[in-house]
């Protein structure tokens, strides 16, 4: 059964999209996400990462990681293809169909994880295709005025996660929470997001990445403290954790920071990306972190 609905895209433009209801899964073809003039989040992957369209059948089911109901999803998206929106009854929220999800790393984070950042670069060095979600100025407990905290943005569908079984899920952040929330608030919010990610991606590997920082300044010390708060959450929830709280000093990255003292220059993202690839690679291989 096919319906036609008017949706708002960007500031005021209206466009028609086809809605297909298939075996309890609602699909919206061609609905744009994050289409405003100023992107509120990292919701759109760079065009160079745009995956190939995958037809229905075995290829589609493999793309979704062989998850339950994949045959029904694929039967529907064969009409609409990559970019279709999927209403998942078990999660009660909209998700996107992504033909390359099975070889991707899904990242939720702040400005440290946007396109071409050290997190994005490091994952690509390890061979992952990245799907970046989140927004600058946000965190486990805080929003930026346009996009809410990680959990709020997720449940209010301010950005959408891809449907399926990504190879890896990364939760990064905490820097924006450091000066605005107590440890207990950060820990509670981070634990809640971890549980929601396990519900969303029960078959994917989940890694938490802490707050990149230094222990030589007052602001840096607080960021490093939050790094350890998140390490405690990871231990409590049984999640792998990569501590980055002393990386500015351990890997001599401070000279590569912008004047704000928190964000890298382009050269800094490149250098830190290589470090991240090395350290995350060791963790994924079970070798543990490098020498301090």
Q: What are phi and psi of 218, to 5 degrees?
A: -60, -45
Helix ranges, the chain (H): 58-63, 70-80, 118-125, 150-155, 183-200, 218-237, 247-250, 266-284
At residue 61 the predicted structure's pLDDT band, cuts being 50, 70 and 90, is low
- In the structure encoding, which two tokens stand for residue 220, read together? 């840096």
204-214: average pLDDT: 96
Complete domains list, the chain, with CATH: 2-32+52-97 (no CATH), 101-284 (3.40.50.1110)
* The pLDDT value given to residue 70: 52
Q: What is the CA radius of gyration of the chain?
A: 19
pLDDT at 83 over 80: no
Whether 56 shows a pLDDT value over 50: the answer reads no
Q: State the pLDDT at residue 29.
A: 41
How far, in Å, CA of 165 to CA of 147, rounded?
Answer: 25
Residue-level pLDDT at 214? 87
DSSP 8-state symbol, 71: H
pLDDT, mean over the chain:
79
Q: Specify whether the CB–CB gap between 282 and 257 falls below 8 A.
A: no
The dihedrals phi and psi of 95, each to the nearest 5 degrees, come to -135, 170
**Do the Cβ atoms of 244 and 208 come closer than 8 Å?**
no
Question: Is residue 128 within 8 Å of residue 191, measured between CB atoms?
Answer: no
Q: In terms of Cα–Cα distance, which of 166, 176, 157, 163 is closest to 203?
A: 166
Size (the chain), residues: 292
101-135, pLDDT tens digit by residue? 999 999 999 999 999 999 999 999 999 999 999 99
Instruction: Tell how many helices (H) and how many strands (E) occur in the chain.
Output: 8, 11
Largest separation between any pair of C-alpha atoms in the chain: 62
**pLDDT score recorded for residue 42:** 55
- Taking the C-alpha atoms of residue 229 and residue 211, their distance in angstroms, rounded to an integer, is 10
Place of tokens 């820097």: 175
- 213-268 pLDDT, tens digit per residue, is 988 888 889 999 999 999 999 999 999 999 999 999 999 999 999 999 899 999 99
* Per-residue pLDDT tens over the stretch 271-286: 999 999 999 999 999 8
Residue 45 pLDDT class (50, 70, 90 cuts): very low
Structure pTM?
0.77
């Amino acid at each position: 059964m096919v319906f036609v609905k008017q949706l708002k895209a960007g500031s005021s433009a209206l466009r028609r999209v086809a809605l297909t209801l298939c075996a309890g899964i609602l699909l919206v073809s061609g609905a744009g996400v994050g289409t405003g003039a100023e992107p509120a989040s990292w919701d759109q992957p760079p065009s160079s990462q745009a995956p190939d369209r995958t037809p229905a059948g075995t290829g589609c089911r493999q793309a979704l990681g062989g998850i339950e109901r994949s045959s029904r999803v694929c039967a529907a998206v064969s009409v609409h293809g990559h970019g279709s929106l999927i209403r998942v009854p078990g999660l009660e929220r909209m998700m996107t169909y992504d033909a390359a999800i099975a070889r991707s790393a899904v990242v939720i984070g702040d400005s440290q994880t946007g396109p071409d950042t050290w997190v994005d670069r490091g994952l690509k060095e390890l061979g992952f295709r990245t799907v970046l979600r989140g927004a600058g100025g946000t965190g486990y407990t805080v929003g930026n005025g346009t996009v809410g905290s990680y959990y709020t943005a997720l449940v209010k569908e301010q950005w959408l996660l891809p449907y399926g079984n990504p190879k890896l899920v990364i939760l990064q952040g905490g820097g924006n929470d450091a000066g605005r929330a107590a440890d207990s608030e950060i820990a509670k919010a981070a634990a809640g997001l971890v549980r929601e990610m396990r519900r969303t991606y029960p078959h994917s590997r989940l890694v938490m990445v802490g707050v990149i920082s230094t222990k030589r300044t007052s602001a840096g010390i607080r960021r490093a403290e939050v790094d350890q708060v998140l390490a405690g959450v990871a231990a409590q929830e049984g999640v792998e954790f990569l501590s980055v709280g002393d990386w500015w000093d351990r890997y001599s990255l401070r000279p590569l920071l912008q004047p704000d003292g928190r964000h890298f220059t382009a050269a800094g993202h490149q250098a830190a990306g290589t470090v991240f690839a090395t350290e995350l690679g060791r963790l994924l291989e079970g070798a543990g972190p490098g020498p301090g």
